[in-house]
């Protein structure tokens, strides 16, 4: 890209170069946004900032500017404001250059509420403590408001008449026996309060049944519970004496043939932008993905009990999981030669706040990249693989989630979710009269239940495979029956189906036919005359298990399929829609595909749902070992040959450092062995 006179005119009074149009908002910019918004006449002492983020310009504007064919796009911010006293909610776009309000929409709640504020969470305990019904229900169980902690949770949408147009949270209680006692071990089951956070009232109390509060310990950090240390483990030391192989300039990263930008958003957390592969021979940059993020995360529970049927959490859209990003520590969360990026956002007063070391960047050895010992020529070559890791961790209540993006030397891209933390627990009701287990939860400790649930992540993949003219082919294995041309029955082939419109793009993974989705460029070809492309390889797992008629299925249509494809629209950012909290449904993907636009040879976005279905185990208590879910994007015809041929041979480690032969390389010619069998 080049900086034009117009761009220079946009520089601030200090003469600084204006930021890239996609650069994350800085602390100074958050301050400017706060000052613009708080100066408005309708801003009051009880107005809070529910969300502040970059309002990204249209892709074509950014690409035109980068190509020198257009001006620097106006830098804008999207600001969502909640008036705490009345519940009045607005969605506003402001220009950082002019300080003007570009647009303002007042929300009436019919299509959802603004995300839940931390201030609302913190108010819940005092609200329910003032309700005589809540206090009486606790007293009957031998508890007081001082011996329980209240867990406020998103309400979902169930068309309760008293909730129309109101900001509602649902509340469960857990007994906490001491300041350092983990309350998740002691759920107060059978009791729930529904709270209007604006009027500070309990709109409905559910007091369904009295179940014993479990007495097990959940104090995983107690040395007595941990037991004797496993002291046979010896240190593993990871060193890069010559430093890392990547370079970082601001948010721009280059590593191997890869270039990209690291970004951060309060809602989505880690965002990767403009991933491209640089051709080693020509120096040309070939785009692969314009923008990649986890745009939504749904955690639907399967227990239909009176106090749990509504447990369906959208951790991204309802809670803004980026704001709960962990500050990572060297040697604990990340090991090796690390580069950290801070995560900067606005707090609920609009002030900039920074999470130190919110994003981690490092390299990892990843075993063998390619290898062959040839029986005819004697060639014996091996190369080591490594990957670049870009990651962050966020803690949403009881669960901790890590999101890891991996880039490989052969052009592969992976996204992996790591799930750990503490189960959301219930009291386990025990066996039924006929001796059957409770059908909707596991007993993970005596009297303690782990309700069955899912974790369904939505990855928004704004693709630019060799450019913006892309299409998706669904490729399945096809068995060929015995017959002419296949007399011995050994044949199989593949079937290719082009996804042509948004309405037909909802697809489900199928391991029985090795289903994969090829994202191909409809205008570019490789040396074989075939379209250049990447293939999305899903990790097959169930989609949303709730009934199709359920409220959650209407609110989260994206989760009913593993894949949707839409034509690019900068306003279509989130799989469940912009305003997820108490959204009645019909938003997000449902709305995006309604016009059935063409996706054949267009600028397209993939929405990929992945994640595990969790039947908790006793081994998941009191803290859960990491579980994993991922998907992979591999080049398929994007290159004319193995793109990792030029990776140097590694130094041999057969000899001790400094000894003769220590600098030998893992590439040599062995004697040919004609008796070596073919495989």
CB atoms within 10 A of CB 94: 23
Contacts of 493 (CB under 8 A, 6+ apart): 477, 478, 480
CB 190 within 8 Å of CB 210: yes
Indicate the SS3 state at residue 643: coil
Token digits of residue 507: 């697809």
Are the beta carbons of 96 and 128 closer than 8 angstroms?
Answer: no
CB contact at 8 A, 467 and 532:
no
* Cβ within 8 Å of residue 241, ≥6 positions away: none
- Cβ pair 394, 383 in contact under 8 A: no
CA–CA gap between residue 423 and residue 589 (Å, rounded): 29
Active site residue 315: yes
Largest CA distance in the chain: 88
Q: How many CB atoms lie within 10 A of CB 596?
A: 13
Closest CA to 276 of 264, 261, 265, 263: 261
Q: Which helix (H) or strand (E) holds 138?
A: helix 132-140
Omega prior to 326 cis, within 30 of 0: no
Exactly one of 51, 399, 408, 636 is catalytic; name it. Answer: 399
d(CA 113, CA 578): 9
Pull the structure tokens for residue 450.
Answer: 């782990």
**Smallest Cα–Cα separation from 163: which of 201, 123, 193, 196?**
196
Q: Which of 189, 295, 315, 578 does the annotation list as catalytic?
A: 315
132-140 helix and 118-129 helix, angle to the nearest 10 degrees: 70
Residues in the chain: 679
Phi, psi of 76 (to 5 degrees): -130, 160
Compute φ and ψ for 469, nearest 5 degrees. Answer: -90, 90
> 606 forms bridges with which residues in the sheet?
461, 565
SS3 sequence, 557-590?
HHHHCCEEEEECCCCCCCCCCCCCECCCCCCCHH
In the DSSP assignment, the letter for residue 409 is: T
> Residue 426, exposed/middle/buried by CB under 10 A (0-12, 13-18, 19+)?
buried
For 485, the token pair is 């041309």
Q: How many helices (H) and strands (E) does the chain have?
A: 8, 33
Instruction: Kindly state the tokens that stand for 24.
Output: 């994350």
Tokens of 599: 């996706």
CA 632 to CA 608: how far, in whole Å?
11
Instruction: Give me the active site residues, please.
Output: 315, 399
């Amino acid at each position: 890209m080049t900086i034009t006179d117009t761009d220079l005119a946009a520089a601030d009074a200090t003469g600084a170069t204006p930021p890239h149009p996609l650069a994350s908002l800085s602390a100074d910019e958050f301050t400017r946004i706060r000052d613009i918004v708080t100066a408005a006449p309708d801003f009051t002492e009880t107005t809070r900032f529910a969300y502040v983020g970059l309002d990204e310009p249209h892709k074509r504007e950014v690409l035109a500017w980068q190509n020198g064919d257009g001006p620097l796009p106006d830098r804008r911010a999207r600001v969502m404001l909640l008036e705490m006293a009345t519940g009045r909610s607005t969605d506003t776009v402001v220009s950082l250059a002019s300080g003007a309000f570009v647009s303002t929409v007042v929300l009436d709640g019919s299509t959802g509420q603004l995300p839940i504020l931390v201030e609302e969470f913190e108010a819940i305990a005092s609200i329910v403590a003032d309700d005589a019904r809540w206090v009486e229900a606790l007293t009957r169980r031998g508890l007081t408001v001082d011996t329980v902690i209240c867990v406020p949770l998103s309400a979902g949408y169930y068309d309760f008449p008293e909730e129309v147009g109101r900001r509602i949270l649902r509340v469960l209680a857990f007994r906490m026996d001491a300041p350092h006692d983990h309350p998740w071990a002691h759920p107060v089951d059978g009791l729930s309060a529904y709270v209007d956070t604006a009027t500070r009232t309990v709109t409905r109390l559910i007091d369904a049944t009295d179940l014993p509060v479990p007495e097990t310990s959940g104090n995983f950090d107690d040395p007595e519970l941990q037991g004797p240390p496993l002291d046979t483990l010896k240190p593993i030391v990871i060193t890069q004496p010559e430093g890392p192989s990547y370079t970082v300039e601001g948010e721009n990263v280059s590593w191997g043939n890869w270039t990209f930008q690291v970004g951060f958003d309060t809602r989505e957390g880690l965002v990767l932008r403009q991933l491209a592969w640089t051709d080693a021979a020509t120096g040309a940059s070939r785009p692969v993905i314009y923008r990649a993020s986890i745009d939504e995360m749904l955690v639907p529970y399967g227990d239909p009990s009176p106090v749990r049927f509504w447990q369906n959490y959208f951790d991204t859209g309802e809670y803004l999981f980026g704001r709960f990003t962990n500050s990572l520590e060297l040697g604990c969360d990340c090991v090796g030669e690390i580069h950290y990026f801070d995560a900067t956002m606005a707090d609920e007063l609009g002030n900039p706040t920074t999470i130190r070391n919110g994003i981690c960047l490092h390299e990892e050895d990843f075993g063998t990249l390619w290898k062959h010992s040839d029986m005819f020529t004697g060639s014996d070559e091996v190369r080591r693989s490594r990957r670049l890791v870009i990651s962050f961790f966020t803690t949403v209540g009881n669960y901790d989630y890590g999101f890891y993006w991996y880039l490989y030397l052969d052009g592969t891209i992976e996204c992996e979710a790591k799930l750990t933390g503490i189960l959301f627990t219930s009291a386990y009701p025990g066996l039924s009269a006929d001796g059957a287990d409770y059908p909707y939860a596991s007993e993970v400790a005596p009297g303690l239940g782990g309700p069955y649930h899912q974790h369904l992540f939505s990855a928004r993949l704004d693709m630019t495979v060799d450019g913006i003219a892309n299409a998706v082919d669904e490729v399945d294995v096809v068995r060929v029956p015995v017959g002419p041309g296949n007399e011995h029955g050994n044949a199989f082939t593949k079937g290719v189906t082009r996804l042509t419109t948004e309405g037909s793009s909802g697809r489900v993974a199928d391991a029985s036919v090795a289903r994969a989705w090829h994202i191909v460029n409809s205008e570019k070809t490789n040396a074989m005359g075939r379209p250049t492309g990447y293939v999305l390889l899903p990790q097959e797992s169930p989609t949303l298990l709730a009934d199709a008629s359920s409220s959650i299925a209407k609110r989260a249509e994206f989760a009913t399929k593993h894949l949707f494809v839409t034509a690019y629209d900068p306003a279509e950012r989130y799989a469940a829609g912009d305003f997820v909290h108490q959204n009645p449904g019909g938003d997000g993907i449902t709305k995006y595909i309604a016009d059935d636009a063409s996706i054949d040879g267009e600028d397209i976005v993939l929405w990929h749902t992945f994640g595990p279905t969790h039947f908790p185990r006793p081994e998941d208590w009191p803290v859960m070992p990491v579980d994993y879910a991922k998907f992979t994007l591999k080049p398929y015809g994007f290159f004319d040959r193995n793109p990792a041929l030029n990776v140097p041979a590694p130094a041999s480690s057969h000899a001790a450092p400094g000894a003769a032969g220590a600098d030998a390389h893992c590439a040599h010619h062995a004697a040919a062995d004609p008796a070596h069998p073919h495989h």
